[in-house]
Structure 1
Amino acid sequence: MNISFSQKPLIALSLLIAPFYFSQNKAEEALKKFEENYPQEKIHLLLSKKNYVAGENLWFTSFVFDGYSPSTISTNVFVELYDQNKKQISKKIYPVINGKGSGSITLPAELKEDVYYIRAYTTWMGNFSDDFNEILPITVYNPSSPEKLEINTSAPWTAAVFPESGTFIDGINTKLVVRLQSKGETPKNWNGFITEAQDSQKKLVTFKGFDQNTGSFNFTPVNGKKYQLTVEDDKGIKQTINLPEVASSGVNLQVQSQADAVKFTLKGKNINENVKYKIIGNINNQLVYKANVSNISDKVYSIPTNQLVNGILNLTVFDESENIVAQRLCFIQPQSLKIKQPSLKGVSLSLKPRDSNSFNINNDSSISNYLVSVTDNESENPENENSLLSTLWLTGDFTSKIYHPAQYFGENRNTDALDALLISEKWLRFNWQTIMSGNFPVIKYKPESYLSYKGRATKLGKPASEAEINLIFKMPDQGFNYNFVKTDKEGMFTLSGLVFEDTMDFSYQLNDEKAGKNSVQVYFQPAFSFLSLKTNLPSHNYILTQRNSTDTIPLEIQRSVTNKSSQNILKEKETVIEEVKIKAQKKDLTKKLNNELSSSLFRSINETVFDFVNENQNAQGYSNILQYLQGRVAGLQIQMQGGNYTATNRGGNMEFFLDEMRVDASQISNIPVSNIAMVKIIKGNFAGSFGGANGAVAIYTRRGGTKGKIIDTTLPSNLTEVKLRGYDKEIPFNNAIYDEESAKSVPEDKRSVLYWNPYLDSKSGESTIVQWYNNDDAKNFRVMIIGFDENNDLLYYNEVLK
């Protein structure tokens, strides 16, 4: 037997490479091409909580993986909400940075009680089957709905049998796995037995199920005999199915995944002794092991695991013609999951209502930020059913329904149950026959660099070929950013790598002094797009039944309804407080702006200031500023006479100033409102009027480059404004709910999520502090901490603090 290993940093194999000879290498070449050109992304959505009430906010953090590491392929995640009929309710786009993103969805208050679905995907994932999208059922309760949700315990279940490696051969003792499925819940307690079809009373083998998914047993079949499996649940419901036909010849692959090595044995019956076999092992579509076996025997072979990552190993046995004769999945080192743990220090907990709690995460310089969540442990943990670990290592790569997959990676995990589950699954990220025949996925969607837009410029109705265009972006909270682009022969250009929320305004001008006003038009369309859902929504474990007036609302839902009401009261209080703050802040900012722009000669105790930098004055709909001012200041009259505007104050003419220089009204009326920073109406005599007694209309244009300052007045006045759509804005989670003492007056606090921060910075050289406020009755707290270090090693903590 000759063995060789491939090497890649993600798997980090560095074992001895030995000579390997085989007549064909189509499988290896096809796998290498697939790995290099068609990486596979998967997503885990971690929700702020498990159950929701209509009208609540749902917060989530999205983890995007390329195999078993944070993905660097995609920089956007698309998140959509669907009802049972596959009708889309909302859609959002959020940025992904180093494989992580976050966002929120506001569940409409009018949603009826039902199961809804959140779909998450990247553009790159659109090149492959939608079955690998993250499609997550969520329960949304609404006590006012005529129907209520209940667990479906009466749905029928089915059983299927899977022999290890897919072969069931005469005289070879084989492990068989029984897999349960249902549109509702499968039984938790069940057992089974094997009989001959001709003698159903004599039990040859009996076994008990591991969990709601699988059970397993060993059996040696005899050629010519037919066998039946009978499965019975704890309600006495039975199902009888036939075992596969017993083959008279073939190869059986038997695998054991141990702590130090994956060990396997090939067993055969009635096979040509001159035929050679090839065994290929791949992890996440990457070749990590291959071997040439010249004769089938009971010899045990080993694949060392000390330099392998946790994950699924796909072992495939090929004959000399590269036909698949046996195949088996197993998990590498299920006994020892390679997960980092944080060190918590200075834990300070209080059971007093609305009191402060805190702990410190000991410094880890290799981790830049954490997701941290603190919930009342009385509420259901969203990670209990399908955790980040089970998505990363299991469900993200399979499309069948797996009940409570998080159990396979928890503290009390059953490694035999996980192994049985993998015997009943197939690796579907690729099909050997398909890629070996040269049929690979068609790439329709290229990886994007955050938000990208395609632009087309025309000049006098024709493509502005190889033209130079100046773009001036008004970046939210960042002032102005200047960009220069050059079009191609068709007048096309691309903007990429944009990161901004909501909308962004920008202006453009052809870099050509001879270009007349409005001679150039620029059109934009996004280079990214939401993709239609082509697969069916998965089944769930609930049914709707008629609601009665005597029905009791589940305690957790009662708490959510109560808390929603309390949060509305708190929101009203916060709104009033915020409005007062904003008004005071705006007043201060306007005063600062006035001081920056106007000289002492243009100050008066009898002045009215319009601030277009810090306040939205709703002036963009007016063709010029003088139209906007009409009727907004007592005593000021603006009229059109002989084609020119005039301004009077109680019958006396007022002067016009542009940046404190006297100008004609025509010069004022031609300035786009978007170029104006401030307008000051001064009544009566002032120093800058040089003796004028009736005051002035003083216009101040934008200059400079940061918010609160002004654009350079040398910018052309004929710039055309355009709006670009950016990322959806995430609703901020209020971790400092009781920093304002007045907030403590809300009647009841039944929050289940007490702290939520997807991006808590890890401070270099010091502990990272987590501080939250209690609700009214929490007795202990569930804390989740997730992060990745500089080597992409996972830190995962999901524990209860008491």
Structure 2
Amino acid sequence: MNRKLFTFLSITLFITSAFTFMEDGDDFIEKLVAKFEKFHHENPQEKVYLQLDKPYYLAGETIWFKGYLFDATYHRIDSVSRVLYVDLIDESKGKIIAQRTLKSDGSTFGDILIPDSLAEGSYQIRAYTNYMRNFSEEFFFRQEIKIWEGTSKNKLTETAGNKLQEVADLQFFPEGGNLVVGLQTRVGFKAVNIAGKGVEHEGFVLSSTQDTAAAFNSEHLGMGYFNFTPENLETYTAYVKQKDGTFKSFVLPTAYQQGYTMAIDNVSNKEKIKVFISNSTPIPADKAKDIVIIAQQRGQICFVAKGSEKLKSFGVSIPKDKIPDDGIIQITMFDSKGEPRCERLVFVQQDKQINLKVSTDKAVYKNREKVTLNLEATDKAGKPLKGDFSVAVTDAGQVIPDAFQGNLLTYLLLTSDIAEKKTGEYYASLKGNIEQPAYYFESNNENASRHLDILMLTQGWRRFVWKDIIDNKKPSFQHILETGLSVTGKALRPNGKPANNVSLTLMLKTQNENPQILMSSADSLGNYAFYGIDFNDSTQVFIQGMKDKGSKNLQVSIDPQPSAPKVQIIRTPFNPIEFDAKELSDFLKKAKDAIELEKKLKLNKVQMLDEVVVRAKKETTPDSRKIYGRASNTIKVDNILCAGATNVLQMLQGRVPGVQISPDGSGGYKVIIRGVGTINGSTDPLVVLDGMATSVDILTGINPCDVDEIDILKGADAAIFGSRASNGVISILTKRGGANYDYSKDPALGVALQKRFGYHVAREFYAPKYDVDKPENVRPDFRSTLHWAPNVQTDSTGKATLTYWNTDAKTSINIVVEGTAFSGGIGIAKNTYQVK
């Protein structure tokens, strides 16, 4: 390419955050940038990342994970969503385990216990928020893991090994997106094997007349490029030499008769990105209009420049110090009609992330010796940073990670924002898959920057499409941004029409916690919703509806709990050549032994004792349904009392001073507890059945002999229920009830109940302490994960310290730390020590 032909623009516009312009007459640019700003303001996005304790597991082990939730623009853990979903997906059976977790300070942690009966195979960990479901599932975090049985059944045959070295598919990517007749273009390419992994190769390009147009060799993981000038009315075919000496052919993209090409130089100059535009058919000066180049990074426009259709070629330089952050830059050229004509991604690495260091108090340890681990986080000026980090410590003899496997840094800056350009069905599973992402971040690798630039030739921007912004096309928002769990439903009149002017009360109570009581109302269509609810495990949710005049003649329903997104089954052939047989066998044996020993340890905690007789007064176990403690009045129901009553309310008549019960004229009852205040003119007391607020009408459908006790609460005794108890409380405790009875089977007007699943409660990582003698300390300890600390926070000095004990293995130990500063910036750190 002859760069002397290019005339650099004399005016380059840098856009502020307000997108102001310094020239008049740039209406086209202003409109384009305004649409871009509006799109990103109305469609903010999130990113989720999980750190796992290791990359593969034995069935029966536990997957430990730490989840980080970032805003997709600035990469800070201050996104509004507070609920994170994590799924374990089988490639053939779909989702098998799902969890939901409360996000705290932008992060959360949890675990997945792998069933010991789970079949060996490749699985995926998928993580996302409900809000992310409004966009493509491409944006979900995914990580493939391998789960083994006790012994591996996978064998690599010589035939399979040969197939993995052959080129199954070869794709070509003209720089900027187009081949144009008569214009020289750099063409990137990527070859993959049957497993979708890059494979090295060499080949050549022939014209239809069998003339050689270009020759090429791959440089890294099947990728490379060659320069090529297509001729008019000519077609081209590439031939790749296979390992057996045969050739396989692939057709190159067809060249356009006229148009633009783009060339980028992001390697030769550390301070600037050079952009060159060529035009096959310049327009006469009196008819020529402006063309525009825009560069953006994660929704922030950082460069805008104008050119003219009259020029055959021109170029601009983008100062790298104007780029907001490390990461991918999307450079797009628009013609005078606002159509994107050329586009290219480049990666800018300015080392703007945090400094993170991890060290141990010694370099060499003994078995079962205590380890003190020190963590330090600072900015580039050396100032301490408060942050949130997770630490995984594994046995290097059992857990052998890929040297270039992905991490927090590579995911946020690279893989989460790009997708492979091919859309063919066969390789749909490879979209966004970057092999060995950490390779491109090696500071001591002189080829890393060049190979990263070649990688950018083969990738496309995945977060949005410019055409959608120009056409004002917006995502369909069907999933809310969750600040907590939610319960929705509908209230209908007896005739089936929506019930408006209806107030609804939600009550839920989990074990050992006070009940949550929330108020809402139905809209004109009868729909109601409760948002921002927090509860763990599972519980019964009770909803009661009431009209403005106090009538409960309603049909109230609760919507089913939302299900996880459908799983798109992705089958990528497993590449057994990546696993060393001896190392894998050692891992499987030790992992299986560790699981069995854990089971024995739990059994050993149940000790068989000789029979003894203990004489003491039996303590009464507090009834978890009586959260209020002492009642003002109590009626103990016996067989005589219940036998003479047709419903629960009849057992109250005349037995508690100040409690008046009378028919309401519509088949129900009116209950008044005298001597207590009223709110809004209502005299109805709060009725609670086995700890759950309910309607007085439901009491007429309960067998009186199923009731164990009736408590009346007045004044201060009812204070725990808040303002709703200003007219007193009637608490019914049943013999059959308790937390497990399903009262949704007991029909009542205006009432609905449903069992809901809440947040997963993370288990504590088991790690023995060998500083004192304990019975379990005599058992062998060869755990592959020595320590897992998902919630390590550095203090105002930027430091944190944690301790753990080594196992019985004489081996090398790997430490991996990932995380982020609260003020922004991400970091990873690694270290290794020996146990001898």
> TM-score, with normalisation over the residues of structure 2?
0.72
What is the distance in 1 between the residues matched to 2:712 and 2:152?
Answer: 56
- 1:658-708 Cα shifts (integer Å, max 9, x gaps): 9xxxxxxxxxxx996659xxxxxxxxxxxxxxxxxxxxx9999997999xx
Query: Paired residue for 2:765, among 715, 718, 733?
Result: 733
Query: Paired residue for 2:344, among 324, 328, 339?
Result: 328
What is the distance in 1 between the residues matched to 2:711 and 2:603?
Answer: 32
What is the distance in 1 between the residues matched to 2:191 and 2:19?
Answer: 40
TM superposition shift of 1:190: 2.7
- 1:276-313 Cα shifts (integer Å, max 9, x gaps): 32112222244332221024365541112214212222
What is the distance in 2 between the residues matched to 1:55 and 1:775?
Answer: 20
SS in 2 for 1:287: strand
Letter in 2 for 1:163: P
Structure-1 residue corresponding to 2:416: 396
TM superposition shift of 1:349: 4.8
**1:503–1:723 Cα contact (<8 Å) kept:** yes
- 1:522-541 Cα shifts (integer Å, max 9, x gaps): 654467542223x4425243
Relative to 1, partners in 2 of residues 1:480 and 1:439: Cα closer, same or farther, differing over 3 Å? closer
Query: After the TM superposition, which residues 133-212 of structure 1 pair with which residues of structure 2 at under 5 Å, given as runs?
Result: 133-143=140-150, 154-155=163-164, 156-170=167-181, 172-184=183-195, 186=197, 188-195=199-206, 198-199=209-210, 206-212=215-221
Query: Paired residue for 2:85, among 78, 81, 99?
Result: 78
**1:559–1:750 Cα contact (<8 Å) kept:** no
Q: Paired residues, what number?
A: 698
TM superposition shift of 1:558: 3.5
What is the distance in 2 between the residues matched to 1:537 and 1:453?
Answer: 33
What is the distance in 1 between the residues matched to 2:800 and 2:641?
Answer: 68
What is the distance in 1 between the residues matched to 2:371 and 2:493?
Answer: 63
- 1:479-508 Cα shifts (integer Å, max 9, x gaps): 455545455567754322222220246777
What is the distance in 1 between the residues matched to 2:25 and 2:588?
Answer: 63
What is the distance in 1 between the residues matched to 2:122 and 2:770?
Answer: 33
What is the distance in 1 between the residues matched to 2:521 and 2:293?
Answer: 54
TM superposition shift of 1:416: 1.6
Query: After the TM superposition, which residues 267-346 of structure 1 pair with which residues of structure 2 at under 5 Å, given as runs?
Result: 267-274=278-285, 275=288, 276-294=290-308, 295-296=310-311, 299-308=314-323, 309-333=325-349, 336-344=350-358
Structure-1 residue corresponding to 2:736: none
TM superposition shift of 1:267: 2.4
- 1:322-367 Cα shifts (integer Å, max 9, x gaps): 233322111123xx43221224456335532222212222376642
**1:177–1:214 Cα contact (<8 Å) kept:** yes
Letter in 1 for 2:467: Q
Query: Paired residue for 1:431, among 448, 451, 465?
Result: 465
TM superposition shift of 1:264: 0.9
> TM-score, with normalisation over the residues of structure 1?
0.75
Structure-1 residue corresponding to 2:15: 6
Structure-2 residue corresponding to 1:66: 71
Structure-2 residue corresponding to 1:539: 572
What is the distance in 1 between the residues matched to 2:344 and 2:541?
Answer: 57
Structure-2 residue corresponding to 1:352: 366
SS in 2 for 1:792: coil
Structure-1 residue corresponding to 2:238: 229
Query: After the TM superposition, which residues 376-395 of structure 1 pair with which residues of structure 2 at under 5 Å, given as runs?
Result: 376-378=395-397, 379-381=399-401, 384-395=404-415
Relative to 1, partners in 2 of residues 1:766 and 1:65: Cα closer, same or farther, differing over 3 Å? closer
TM superposition shift of 1:460: 9.7
Structure-2 residue corresponding to 1:691: none
**Stretch of structure 1 that moved more, 412-421 or 189-198:** 189-198
- 1:250-292 Cα shifts (integer Å, max 9, x gaps): 3221112243222112223343243332112222244332221
Structure-2 residue corresponding to 1:501: 536
Letter in 2 for 1:443: F
Relative to 1, partners in 2 of residues 1:729 and 1:701: Cα closer, same or farther, differing over 3 Å? farther
Relative to 1, partners in 2 of residues 1:461 and 1:121: Cα closer, same or farther, differing over 3 Å? same
Query: Paired residue for 1:46, among 44, 51, 55?
Result: 51
**2:122–2:574 Cα contact (<8 Å) kept:** no
2:59 counterpart of 1:31:
no
- 1:624-652 Cα shifts (integer Å, max 9, x gaps): 9989xxxxxxxxxx86589489xxxxxxx
**2:691–2:731 Cα contact (<8 Å) kept:** no
**1:5–1:15 Cα contact (<8 Å) kept:** no
What is the distance in 1 between the residues matched to 2:504 and 2:764?
Answer: 37
Relative to 1, partners in 2 of residues 1:716 and 1:763: Cα closer, same or farther, differing over 3 Å? farther
SS in 1 for 2:479: coil
- 1:452-484 Cα shifts (integer Å, max 9, x gaps): 112557899998865666655545555455545
TM superposition shift of 1:214: 0.9
Letter in 2 for 1:209: S
SS in 2 for 1:371: strand
What is the distance in 1 between the residues matched to 2:617 and 2:711?
Answer: 14
Query: Paired residue for 1:421, among 434, 439, 455?
Result: 455
What is the distance in 2 between the residues matched to 1:48 and 1:330?
Answer: 32
Relative to 1, partners in 2 of residues 1:237 and 1:338: Cα closer, same or farther, differing over 3 Å? farther
- 1:403-429 Cα shifts (integer Å, max 9, x gaps): 223322234361122211221222243
Query: Paired residue for 1:610, among 611, 615, 620?
Result: 620
Structure-2 residue corresponding to 1:448: 482
Relative to 1, partners in 2 of residues 1:242 and 1:471: Cα closer, same or farther, differing over 3 Å? closer
RMSD: 4.5
What is the distance in 1 between the residues matched to 2:817 and 2:606?
Answer: 32
Structure-2 residue corresponding to 1:370: 389
**1:124–1:445 Cα contact (<8 Å) kept:** yes
Relative to 1, partners in 2 of residues 1:474 and 1:698: Cα closer, same or farther, differing over 3 Å? closer
Letter in 2 for 1:41: E
What is the distance in 2 between the residues matched to 1:363 and 1:186?
Answer: 36
TM superposition shift of 1:50: 0.9
- 1:99-126 Cα shifts (integer Å, max 9, x gaps): 4332222222222221123332222222
**Stretch of structure 1 that moved more, 361-370 or 386-395:** 361-370
Structure-2 residue corresponding to 1:664: none
TM superposition shift of 1:451: 0.7
**2:200–2:220 Cα contact (<8 Å) kept:** yes
TM superposition shift of 1:769: 1.0
Query: After the TM superposition, which residues 640-659 of structure 1 pair with which residues of structure 2 at under 5 Å, given as runs?
Result: 643=643
Relative to 1, partners in 2 of residues 1:306 and 1:363: Cα closer, same or farther, differing over 3 Å? closer
**1:77–1:121 Cα contact (<8 Å) kept:** yes
Letter in 2 for 1:389: L
What is the distance in 2 between the residues matched to 1:641 and 1:625?
Answer: 10
**1:4–1:20 Cα contact (<8 Å) kept:** no
Structure-1 residue corresponding to 2:111: 104
Letter in 1 for 2:408: L
SS in 1 for 2:481: coil
Relative to 1, partners in 2 of residues 1:454 and 1:323: Cα closer, same or farther, differing over 3 Å? closer
TM superposition shift of 1:376: 2.0
What is the distance in 1 between the residues matched to 2:772 and 2:710?
Answer: 41
Query: After the TM superposition, which residues 550-699 of structure 1 pair with which residues of structure 2 at under 5 Å, given as runs?
Result: 554-574=582-602, 577=605, 607-612=617-622, 643=643, 674=691
Gapped regions of structure 1 (runs ≥ 5): 545-550, 581-604, 617-623, 628-637, 646-657, 659-669, 676-696
Work out the percentage of aligned pairs sharing the same amino acid.
23
**Stretch of structure 1 that moved more, 190-199 or 371-380:** 190-199
SS in 2 for 1:500: coil
Structure-2 residue corresponding to 1:654: none
Query: Paired residue for 1:128, among 127, 130, 135?
Result: 135
Relative to 1, partners in 2 of residues 1:746 and 1:5: Cα closer, same or farther, differing over 3 Å? farther
What is the distance in 2 between the residues matched to 1:225 and 1:671?
Answer: 83
Relative to 1, partners in 2 of residues 1:699 and 1:487: Cα closer, same or farther, differing over 3 Å? closer
SS in 2 for 1:441: coil
